[in-house]
Amino acid sequence: MKNRFQDPKFCVSITAPNTSKLMSDVNSAFKSGAHLAELRLDSLNSFSIDKIQALSDAHKNKLILTFRGKHQGGLSSISEPDRLQILIELLDIKNSIKDIESDTFNKNYSLFKNEKNLIISWHNFKSTPSTNSLERLIKNISSKLTHPKQIIKIATYANSLNDCNKVFNLYSRFEKSKFQLLAFCMGETGSITRILSPVLGAPFIYCFSGNKAVAPGQIKLDTLAEIYSNFV
């Protein structure tokens, strides 16, 4: 079993109303010890591709570009065709990782299949399906992947500790896979999965910096660092 407990990677999720605040928050996150930053571009009032490219050049391969759809917890009210156009434009931004929902990926496979630095995400904001159901979902997604750097992200909502165990069980089932699995639970009960998933092989864990979590159950960056310091 993979064990990265002594070298976890932290990814700070960032929402901001404008590009200036976004750039400031990104710089603050890295100064605070983040290894990666997820930019929730759907939180911005507007942005230019050139400015996001400049930010990606300044933090090469450390930024995850996300423009989440409304059906997956997105913050923008733009139409789905307009959102898809933005996702296509983001593909041209070098030195960055792109995050795309699994349904968007499946419907537009020809557009995204050759993107090496890609996260395909699936969320359930109400519950956690059985491990077998999640396994089938992951196998369906993985059958379309083309590169070992690509990541499948599974985020469910934990209503009990048993839900957390359902997600933990996924790691052993895909330990020898040719893709990276990032699976965890949202919600307060699911916070334990955010802490322990790196032990099981998750490439990184989402957290927040500042005063407000971006997603339910996220843990503050300095709190995570303090927790892990006890095991070094």
Residue of 60, 123, 139, 144 marked active site: 123
Helix (H) or strand (E) holding 23: helix 19-31
48 to 25, 62, 69, 83, 86: CA distances (angstroms):
17, 19, 19, 14, 10
The contacts of residue 42 (CB under 8 Å, 6+ apart) are 66, 67, 68, 74, 75, 76, 83
Give, in order, the Cα–Cα distances in Å from 171 to each of 35, 52, 178, 222.
Answer: 22, 33, 13, 26
Active site residue 60: no
98 is catalytic: no
Set 60, 62, 113, 153: catalytic member: 153
| Active-site residue set | 123, 153
